[in-house]
């Protein structure tokens, strides 16, 4: 479900709207055509137990979406602009550090750079890619200088880019 709702809905013939919503009945049918058994109870359990709260079911219980992290161009969720806290964090692997400090943090294939309000979440993210390193982002200063921030339903902070001058290394894990 993760890859389908965030990156490749077309891989099972699913269509997402501009806000990332998919019809749950269509998701179940498309999954079945590709050998995956889904029903509403399974989908609801995935949504409720996902540790990152990546998915949301609409109030009418008819649609589902990933709340952030899309790479598919058909989705362009209109998040409300929000004033960030003074500092946010970004977890990555040490092997990416040279590139990051050359070009800043960029969204790449995703729509936004993902930032965390706490170091522990950033650490978990960084450890997925190898030896973790935590970057401190001067988010309030960026905001004051015209950068836009949003916050997804699951608490992840989003911005289009983080230039090098707004970041520093705060923790390096062995």
Q: Is the pLDDT of residue 66 over 90?
A: no
Domain boundaries, the chain: 9-66, 87-172
Q: Is the pLDDT of residue 17 over 90?
A: no
pLDDT at residue 111 in the model: 81
Looking at domain 9-66, does it have CATH number 3.90.1150.10?
no
In degrees and rounded to multiples of 5, residue 116 shows phi and psi of: -115, 150
Place of tokens 């400090």: 101
Summarised one tens digit per residue, pLDDT across range 122-173 is 988 888 878 889 999 999 999 999 999 999 888 899 999 999 999 999 866 5
Separation of alpha carbons 38 and 16, rounded Å: 18
pLDDT at residue 162 in the model: 98
- C-alpha of 137 from chain center: 17
Give SS3 for 24.
Answer: helix
87-172: CATH topology is ADP-ribosylation fold (3.20.170)
Cβ atoms 84, 157 nearer than 8 A: yes
Cβ atoms 115, 157 nearer than 8 A: yes
């Amino acid at each position: 479900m993760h890859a389908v709702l965030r990156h490749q809905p077309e891989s099972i013939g699913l269509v997402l709207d501009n806000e990332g919503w998919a019809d749950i009945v269509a998701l179940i049918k498309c999954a079945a055509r590709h050998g995956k058994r889904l029903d509403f109870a399974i989908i609801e359990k995935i949504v409720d137990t996902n540790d990152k709260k990546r998915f949301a079911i609409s109030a009418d219980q008819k649609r589902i979406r990933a709340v952030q992290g899309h790479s598919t161009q058909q989705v362009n969720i209109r998040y409300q602009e929000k004033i960030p806290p003074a500092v946010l964090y970004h977890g990555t692997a040490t092997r990416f550090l040279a590139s990051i400090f050359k070009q800043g943090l960029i969204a790449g294939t995703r729509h936004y750079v993902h930032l965390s309000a706490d170091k522990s979440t950033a650490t978990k993210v960084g450890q997925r890619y190898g030896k973790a390193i935590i970057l401190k982002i001067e988010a309030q200063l960026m905001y004051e200088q015209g950068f836009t921030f949003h916050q997804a339903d699951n608490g992840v902070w989003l911005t289009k880019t983080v230039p090098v001058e707004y970041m520093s290394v705060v923790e390096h894990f062995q």
